[in-house]
Amino acid sequence: MKCILSLAAVALIFYKIFDICSQNYVFDPVTLNTISNLVISRHPNVTTHNQTRDMFVDLRNELATVYGSENINQYNDEDWMFNNAGGAMGQMIILHASLHEYLIIFGTAVGTEGHSGVHTSNDYFTILKGEQWAALPYSTEREVYKPGMTHHLVRGDAKQYGMPGESFALELAQGFIPGMLPFGFADGFSSTLDVKTLYKTTVITGKDMIKHAILGLKKHFVK
């Protein structure tokens, strides 16, 4: 009985966390899809590194116009970092990170495949270039997501996913972001031992989370 009550209490706590988080979201997945498609339409033939970078900068600026520059980090080449999670390796740049949301550009120049993870957040993955493939455990054929399409990984679900080389996406996660961190860091501690990347990820993520926590408190007290 005590075990059942404890589980119920934990479930209630997580429910309240999700409820509170959902009231403080900055981003809307539908709007992000619209912005992404607008930017994609302005960059119809993206093949080279410079063309891809121009599209990313354009996307960042469009996001800042809609959501405010205080909510979207500047685009700096040196802020890109590797990401190892679920057996997959990719590259990412953090545009926004808070306790209940993150917005990144994620992708791979050489291709990758792995486990999506089981998350405490809903994940919206809008393809900018290339493709993403995904499958549930019982699937015998893959889901295919192309530029302009958004793949919604529902909180609590798990999929196998893959991306061919030179594929990138705008990724939004909404929910209890600290609950996703063990997945994001596990490979770094147990496999790659890439201390430089772990440090860089921690510093950039931590600074942004603190920044947006302070902004949130200011908005709360101004009300």
Q: What is the tens place of the pLDDT at every residue in 123-156?
A: 999 999 999 999 999 999 999 999 999 999 999 9
CATH number at residue 108: 2.60.120.10
Q: What is the mean pLDDT of residues 66-74?
A: 96
Query: Is 5's pLDDT higher than 80?
Result: no
Q: What pLDDT is attached to residue 66?
A: 98
Looking at the chain, the whole-number percentage of residues with pLDDT higher than 70 is: 87
In terms of Cβ atoms closer than 10 Å to its own Cβ (0-12, 13-18, 19+), residue 44 is: exposed
pLDDT at 186: 82
Instruction: Summarize pLDDT for 9-47 with one digit per residue, the tens.
Output: 554 555 455 555 555 799 999 999 999 999 999 999 899
Mean pLDDT throughout 55-61? 98
pTM, entire model: 0.86
3 confidence band (pLDDT: 50, 70, 90): low
38-50: pLDDT as tens digits = 999 999 989 999 9
Angle between helices 29-42 and 49-67 (to 10 degrees): 140
Q: Quote the number of domains for the chain.
A: 1
Looking at residue 99, its amino acid is L
Q: Work out whether the CA dihedral 37, 43, 45, 50 comes out positive or negative.
A: negative
**Average pLDDT score, the chain:** 89
Q: Is the pLDDT of residue 115 over 80?
A: yes
For residue 142, CA distances in Å to 35, 133, 149 come to 26, 6, 15
Q: Cα(5)–Cα(34) distance, rounded to whole angstroms?
A: 44
Of 91, 88, 93, 154, which Cα lies nearest the Cα of 125? 154
DSSP 77: G
- Domain interval for residue 192: 2-222
For residues 175-199, average pLDDT? 83
